[in-house]
Amino acid sequence: MIFRGLAKSAGLPPGTMMAVGDEPAGPTRISIIDYDQDHLKQVDSADESTVIQEKASPRVTWFKVEGLGQIEAISRLGEIFSLHPLVLEDIVNTTQRPKIEEYEDYVFMVLQAVRFDRENASLASQQVSLVLGKDWLLSFQEGKRELFGGVLERIQRGRGRIRKLGVDYLAYVLMDAVVDQYFVALEAIGEEVELLEEELLENPSEKTMHRLHKLKRQSLGFRKAVWPLREVVAWLTRDEIGLVHSDIQPFLRDLYDHTIQVIDQVETLRDLLSGLLDIYLTAVSNRMNEVMKVLTIIATIFIPLTFLAGLYGMNFKFMPELEWKWGYPVVLAIMIVSVAGMLFYFRRKKWL
C-alpha cells in the first residue's frame, strides 16, 4: 500500500498516459451539462461529435468525465481541447499531489478527495482533475463514487447562485464539494479517535495500539492530500489569471479559510494521536506496576513465613523449641503478627 504504483511509469517518455492508482479504472463516461440562467441542457453519455459541438456553446459547459479506464477516449478529449500531453498524463496517473498549473488557454487543477471508511478505519482518496477554460470546465473523476451529485442537483433545480454565475463559480463549487468531504472525513475520524480514547482508558490492548498506528498512517495520508491544496486555492485567490472574476473572490477566500481549517484539524489530529500513544505507554507501565505489586506483596508476605516453617521442619536432634508445649502456637502467633506488619507497611506505601 505504501508508495505503491509510484514507479509504474518510471522509464517511460514524459507525457505517456498510463492509468496508475488505487481504484480500478472503470470505463470512461462523459456527461455534458450546458447551462445559463435560462437554459439547461444535459447529455448523459456524450460521444465525440457532441463534445465538439458543445464546446462551441457560448453558455457554461461542464464536461463531467467519470472513470479513467479508456485512455484513448481521454486522449481524444485532450486533442479536442488542445490539452498539453503532461496534463493528460497527470489526469490518468492518479497518484498526483494537489497542484495547479496555468496554460495559455486554461488552468489545470488536481485535487484529492478523501473518504473515511469506518468499517476498516481507512482513508480512501480519489483524484479529481479540473480543467478550467474560458466558458467550459472539464472534470475528471477516478472512481465510481459520486462526488458532485449535490452540485448537479443544484444546477438542475436552477435555484441559487449557480445558474447566474459563470464557469469560474462552477469550478469553485466543485472544489468546495471536495473540501466539504474533508470535513465529513474529519468528523468520522474524530469519532474513531474518541472510541480509541475510551478503549485506551478502559481496556488498552496491543490491538488498540495497532488501531492507533493505523489511524496515524491515515492522518499522514490525509495531510499529504490537504497541505498542497492551500497553495492551489491561494494561487486562484491571487487572481493572476484572467479566468476568475472578482465577484468569485469572496468565495475563493472562504474556500481558502476552509482549507486552512482542515489543515489545522489534521495537525490537531496528529497531536491528539501522539497524546493517545503517551496514554497507552503509561497505561502499559501502570499495569506492569500493578502486576509487580501483586507479586511483591505475595512474595514478601509468604517467603519469610515459609522460611520460619522450614526452620522448624529441620531434623536436628537438639532443637529445644520443638519440645516446648507452646512452641507451635508461639510460631503461629509470630507468623500472624508478621503478616499484619507487612500489610500495614504495604498500606502505608499505598500499595494496597
Residue numbers 5-24 binding a copy of itself by CB under 8 A: 5-7, 9-15
Site string for a copy of itself, 306-345 (x = CB under 8 A): xx-xxxxxxxxxxx-xxxxx-xx--x--------------
Site string for a copy of itself, 207-246 (x = CB under 8 A): --xx--x--xx--x---x---x------------------
> CA torsion angle for 56, 58, 62, 67 (degrees, to 10)?
0
Is the Cβ of residue 49 or residue 317 nearer to a copy of itself in the bound state?
Answer: 317
The stretch near a copy of itself (CB under 8 A) out of 35-43, 46-54, 57-65, 280-288 is 280-288
The stretch near a copy of itself (CB under 8 A) out of 38-46, 55-63, 132-140, 301-309 is 301-309
Q: How many CA atoms lie within 13 A of 229 on its CB side?
A: 28
Chain centre to alpha carbon of residue 32: 32
Site string for a copy of itself, 147-186 (x = CB under 8 A): ---x---x-----xxx---------xx--xx--xx-xx-x
Contact positions with a copy of itself (CB under 8 A) in 23-82 = none
Q: How many other β-carbons are positioned within 10 Å of the β-carbon of residue 338? A: 14
By CB under 8 A, name the one of 152, 253, 338, 343 that touches a copy of itself.
253
The stretch near a copy of itself (CB under 8 A) out of 29-37, 44-52, 67-75, 275-283 is 275-283
Mapping DSSP to helix (H, G, I), strand (E, B) and coil, where does residue 40 land? strand
Phi, psi angles (nearest 5°) of residue 98: -55, 135
